[in-house]
Amino acid sequence: MKKTPFVTLEKIQEITKTIPTPFHIYDEAGIRANARALREAFAWNKGFKEYFAVKATPNPYILKLLHEEGCGCDCATYTELLLAEAVGITGHDIMFSSNVTPELDMRKARELGAYINLDDATYVDFLAKLGPVPETVCLRYNPGGSFSLGNTIMDMPRDAKYGMTEDQLGGAVLRLQKLGVKHFGIHAFLASNTTTNEYYPELAAKLFRLAVRLKNATGAHIAFINLSGGIGVDYRPEQPACDIRVIGQGVREKYEQILTPAGMDDVAIFSELGRFMLAPYGELISTVLHQKHIYREYVGLDACAADLMRPAMYGAYHHITVLGKEDAVLDHVYDVTGGLCENNDKFAIERSLPEIRVGDILAIHDTGAHGHCMGYNYNGKLRGAEVLLHPDGSFDLIRRAETPMDYFATLDCTEFSFHN
Ligand SMILES: *Cc1c(COP(=O)(O)O)cnc(C)c1O
């Protein structure tokens, strides 16, 4: 399907009067509509809740907006817990899905009353050492082997550092019961950025069967199944997009096949989606600074991998639209680059685009998740701003761009002085 940006050149020209490029812009209307579609797709499940994976877009304005749509937060670190707390998201509106967890982080999660998702059986003692254990505890499962959908291997859980084996999980339940735990959750994250509607239902079936076995073996009350993240988005125009209604129905069928006959129809379904909630509703807006022609044709932007690392890090595809040239023929081929002294700092390689001129403004699509937040300061490059576009066309700066003084702020420096 043709990808069209959610902003026009006119809107961006209005915004750049006060906020210079590069910046990520987020589409409030799109975020809200998508969050509602998710909620409707799982409305058949009484306890359904999405815990937005904070790491994907750790901006309090985004967390607040999602909270208004009924979402909680999935946090993995102390800092992410502080973000949730600042927005007023506490208690069972937080899922704490961490690994290699420092004591400080676990204490903070307990203080906020979050659901605790234990990455390993050894964390039972770690948790007990910090004080009374909560009434409900979630356990992260790793089935090992490979995870396939039909003939396609999606990922290799046996190579993943997360979660525990089924035996360990059973042992953890028994020990937690002795410590007074009454209710349990089960969590697994087995494949990332899946663009098939089959992933969630297959994962759900695996976890539902595990829940039945666990209940039979230990008598444990399974309160929720956390399907975690992993629903992907159509980064490429030719890719199919997931259909969240079909996914919700697929999970429902497995629920009614496996949990209902086992008398377990009070189990709530949780999700910890990041990419699916935000990626399509963010775009990186950047201006063409230079053009050069050597063995290839290059377009150099004011944004670089510091603003969006996925292409450099994973070779990820992000679609690009030249604003104002949405319908022009794609009769030129460019490498679109940033200015890092790293040859992998390319947003696109040999991409067909319309003719580009210095000063043109590009929209790099699907940067709403794992975009700004993955940025870094290599080469003294500074991360750009974040802007929230409201449904009525007004906009707010929700994070200013970094300045050189931010870059120097962590130097405990009496010997040198910096001037902006
Ligand atoms: C990264 C992560 C998520 C979100 O993953 P997406 O691919 O963005 O949906 C959810 N839960 C945990 C524990 C994660 O590490």
Q: What is the largest CA-CA distance in the chain?
A: 71
For 169, phi then psi, to 5°, come to -65, -45
State the distance between the two ends of the chain, measured CA to CA, in whole angstroms.
46
Residue 237 predicted with pLDDT over 90: yes
pLDDT of residue 413: 77
| Ligand 1 touching residue 272 (CB < 6 A) | yes
pLDDT in tens, 116-140: 999 999 999 999 999 999 999 999 9
CATH number corresponding to 28-278:
3.20.20.10
Out of 3.20.20.70, 2.40.37.10, 3.50.50.60, 1.10.260.40, select the CATH number for domain 280-408.
Answer: 2.40.37.10
Distance CA(21)–CA(393), nearest Å, equals 18
| Ligand 1 touching residue 73 (CB < 6 A) | no
Mean pLDDT of the 103-107 span: 98
Q: Which one, of 405, 283, 407, lies nearest residue 21 by Cα?
A: 283
| Ligand 1 touching residue 74 (CB < 6 A) | yes
User: Which of 34, 66, 142, 228 most suits a substitution to test ligand 1, by most atoms within 8 Å of the C-beta?
Assistant: 228
| Ligand 1 touching residue 192 (CB < 6 A) | yes
Distance CA(143)–CA(163), nearest Å, equals 8
* Fold agreement between 28-278 and 280-408: no
pLDDT of residue 295: 98
User: Which of 52, 105, 189 most suits a substitution to test ligand 1, by most atoms within 8 Å of the C-beta?
Assistant: 189
| Ligand 1 touching residue 230 (CB < 6 A) | yes
Distance CA(134)–CA(315), nearest Å, equals 42
CA-closest residue to ligand 1 atom 10: 229
**Mean confidence (pLDDT) of the chain:** 97
pLDDT of residue 291: 98
CA 165 to chain centroid, in Å, comes to 25
Residue 278 predicted with pLDDT over 90: yes
Distance CA(370)–CA(309), nearest Å, equals 8
For 385, phi then psi, to 5°, come to -85, 170
For 134, phi then psi, to 5°, come to -70, 165
| Ligand 1 touching residue 120 (CB < 6 A) | no
Tokens found for residue 260: 């209902």
Q: Which one, of 235, 233, 145, 150, lies nearest residue 190 by Cα?
A: 145
Distances (CA, A) of 32 to 3, 67, 313: 20, 10, 30
pLDDT of residue 133: 97
Tokens found for residue 335: 């490498």
* Centroid of ligand 1 to alpha carbon of 115 (angstroms): 16
Q: Which one, of 254, 256, 251, 257, lies nearest residue 271 by Cα?
A: 251
HEC per residue, 142-175: CCCCCEEECCEEEECHHHCCCCECHHHHHHHHHH
Tokens found for residue 226: 């956390």
Distance CA(90)–CA(74), nearest Å, equals 11
Distance CA(394)–CA(241), nearest Å, equals 29
* Centroid of ligand 1 to alpha carbon of 316 (angstroms): 17
For 396, phi then psi, to 5°, come to -130, 140
- Spatial neighbors of 154 by CB under 8 A, at least 6 apart, are 147, 148, 190, 191, 194, 199
pLDDT of residue 41: 98
| Ligand 1 touching residue 275 (CB < 6 A) | yes
Supply the DSSP symbol for 266: T
Atom number in ligand 1 closest to CA 274: 8
User: Which of 97, 187, 271, 272 most suits a substitution to test ligand 1, by most atoms within 8 Å of the C-beta?
Assistant: 272
* Centroid of ligand 1 to alpha carbon of 53 (angstroms): 6
pLDDT band at 290 (very low <50, low <70, confident <90, very high): very high
| Ligand 1 touching residue 368 (CB < 6 A) | no
pLDDT in tens, 353-401: 999 999 999 999 999 999 999 999 999 999 999 999 999 999 999 999 9
CA-closest residue to ligand 1 atom 9: 229
By the 8 A CB rule, do 272 and 74 touch? yes
* Centroid of ligand 1 to alpha carbon of 258 (angstroms): 25
| Ligand 1 touching residue 302 (CB < 6 A) | no
pLDDT of residue 414: 79
Residue 61: strand pairing partners: none
By the 10 Å C-beta count (0-12 exposed, 13-18 middle, 19+ buried), 110 is classed as: middle
Residue 292: strand pairing partners: 298
- The domain locations on the chain are 28-278, 280-408
By the 10 Å C-beta count (0-12 exposed, 13-18 middle, 19+ buried), 410 is classed as: exposed
Distance CA(12)–CA(323), nearest Å, equals 9
CA-closest residue to ligand 1 atom 3: 229
Mean pLDDT of the 98-121 span: 98
| Ligand 1 touching residue 274 (CB < 6 A) | yes
Atom number in ligand 1 closest to CA 273: 9
